Structure 1
Amino acid sequence: MSGTKVDLDTLRAAIKEYESIKDELMVAHQNGQVLTTVRGAGRDMPSQVYANWAAAAGKAHQDSNKQLQDALVIRIDNLKATLAQYEQTEHGNQANLKPKD
């Protein structure tokens, strides 16, 4: 035994919080899609340079958001697997402690 104690309610709360953050990032990603389609105010070179820079910056933010979403999905899946394993172990332990006839 490693001596590590896992509070299943805290683990469930962490999963719920991570899922909430992921959902907020998904909404931000959808709303931020317009940041990747910035157009220049005119056909002059400064407007075009600004538009290209702004679109590139918007894409970078979108890419970063997506990477964070992907990392959260992996973390959530790992936490859910851990929770399921602990619940299964806990259920098995309770069954083993019941008196046998």
Structure 2
Amino acid sequence: MAAQIDVGGGYSIDIDDAQKFVTALTQQKQELALTLQRAARVLQVLPPGHDDYSSAWASTANQMVKQHSEWNLNKQKELQALIDKVNAVVAQYQQTEHDNTLRA
């Protein structure tokens, strides 16, 4: 059985699957970034009319867009932290394997 990497939340992966896992996480992070870029371009809500209700509606809609952007950025940061963690554990594992090989 290959060594396990604890990725948090009660989950772990085999060290042999680490690169596939990092690749999948990187792809998800890129998709989030692309979604954020597209949203920034097309989701600017203007009031449909020149009355207070239209302005209030547009303000609320723009707040929702801002909240989505913040959520998206936070998810990207979470994914990057997980990528960094997995890469660090793999590097540590490889260094330990290398050190053990030198001792043998």
TM-score by length of 1: 0.81
Report which of the two has the higher share of helix: 1
Specify which of 5, 12, 19 is matched with residue 19 of structure 2.
12
Segments of 5+ residues of structure 2 without an aligned counterpart are 5-13
Specify which of 9, 30, 43 is matched with residue 37 of structure 2.
30
Q: What letter matches 1:61 in structure 2?
A: H
Runs of 4+ in 1 over 6 A off after TM superposition: none
Aligned to 2:9: none
Q: What letter matches 2:65 in structure 1?
A: G
Q: In terms of Rg, which structure is larger?
A: 1
Contact 1:12–1:83 under 8 Å retained in 2: no
CA distance in 2, matches of 1:91, 1:12: 19
- How far off is 1:46 after superposition? 2.2
1:72 aligns to 2:79 (yes or no): yes
1:54 aligns to 2:52 (yes or no): no
Segments of 5+ residues of structure 1 without an aligned counterpart are none
- How far off is 1:22 after superposition? 0.6
Q: CA RMSD in A?
A: 1.6
* Identical-residue share of aligned pairs (%): 32
CA distance in 1, matches of 2:84, 2:71: 20
Contact 2:3–2:15 under 8 Å retained in 1: no
